[in-house]
Every structure is written in structure tokens, then in C-alpha cells.
Amino acid sequence: MTEEYRGRKKKLILLSSVLVALIVFGVAGFLSIHNTPRYSLYWFKKAILEHNAESALKYLDIDSIVDNMVKDIFDKPEQQKVTSKNQPETSMKSIGKDIVMQNLPTMKKQLREQLESAIISYNDQAALDNLSKASVLGLVITMEGDLALVKIRGKDTVAFTMAKSPEGRWKIVAFNLKELIAPGRK
């Protein structure tokens, strides 16, 4: 009877050890995945599919997106600034930039409202089916500190940029509109 008791005790200790190891590895795995851009993108996709605008907007930094779009539109590389000799065109662009900068807070608010409305009411079933089939594993994510450059697998150009927020989730902060609107074009 003592031999049988020892055998049961060893099995119980072994089973308990395996169970504890599985729990530790599971918790460690969850914590390491929980703070990744891929995890945030998964929840962003899920919120869109569920038409949950409040949750989806947690993964978009509207202010940064708009600021980066304005920067992309109005800021020229230094090489182009030097070669631009057409003064009226330059001053018109400067005036346009000033007007946009003055209206930036209103534009950000309107964009947020439009996105909320679009997420809630979007009903293109074919697009939603494609999104539900899409996998966040099909993205190539390159980490650069608290920034993540996200490419679509098979493409060379960054589609969008994410940044880690103070809350720990990753948010989309910039889009490469040239890549997303006209993929593959230079």
C-alpha cells in the first residue's frame, strides 16, 4: 500500500508540475503577445467587423494621422524646395498650408465623427467578408523602438506606421496613402 501511495504521489507531483508549467508559459505568452502591434491590429479588425466605433478608434491616433497627412502633402524634400523657382505657386501653397493649419482642429474632429459613423453604418458585405478573411499574420511588422512599420506581405513599401501609446496598446499614427490607394506604384 505504501508503494501504491508513493506512485500516486509521484504522479500527482508530476501532473501538478506540468500544469503549473503550462500556466506559467500561457501567462508569459499572453503577456508577450498582448503588447504587440499585431495584437492591437487584431482587436482593431475585430472592432470594425463588429461595427464598434468606440473600440476601433482606440487603435487610431486621429490627431497624428491628420498631422502626418498634412506634413506629407505640404512638406517638400529640401531638393524640391531649392529647384522651385515659381514664386506664385510657392506662395499659393503657403497660403493653402496656412488655411489648412488654421482649420486642423475642426478637420480632426470631423474626421473622427466621419470615421465613427462609417464604422457603425458600413454595410459593404463583400469588403467585410474580405476583412474577416484577412489575417494579421499576413503583415510584415518591423519594430523600431516604440514605432512599428507595417508592410503588406509581398510589398516593399510601408503601408502604415504604428506607435505604442502610454496605455500599452499600439495605434496607427500614419498611412502611406500612395501605397494604400495605388498599391505598387512609385
At residue 163 the predicted structure's pLDDT band, cuts being 50, 70 and 90, is very high
5-9, 40-44, 129-133, 149-153, range with greatest mean pLDDT: 40-44
User: CA 78 to CA 83: how far, in whole Å?
Assistant: 9
- Smallest CA-to-CA distance from 159 within 138, 145, 129 is with 138
pLDDT band at 117 (very low <50, low <70, confident <90, very high): very high
Buried b or exposed e, range 127-154, using 16+ CB within 10 angstroms: eeeeeeeeebeebeeeeeeeebbbbbee
- Least confident residue range of 16-25, 82-91, 129-138, 142-151: 82-91
At 171, phi and psi to the nearest 5?
-125, 145
Q: Which three cell numbers stand for residue 175?
A: 498611412
What share of the chain has pLDDT > 90, as a percent? 29
SS3 assignment, position 162 = strand
Show the cell assigned to 94.
Answer: 503657403
pLDDT at residue number 1: 59
Residue 6 has what pLDDT? Answer: 83
Residue 150 to residue 29: CA distance in whole angstroms: 22
pLDDT tens profile 8-23: 888 888 888 888 889 8
pLDDT tops 90 at residue 97: no
* pLDDT > 80? residue 112: yes
As a whole number, mean pLDDT of residues 126-133 equals: 86
Q: Tell me the three cell numbers of residue 34.
A: 498582448
Q: What is the pLDDT of residue 88?
A: 67
134: phi then psi, degrees, rounded to nearest 5: -65, 145
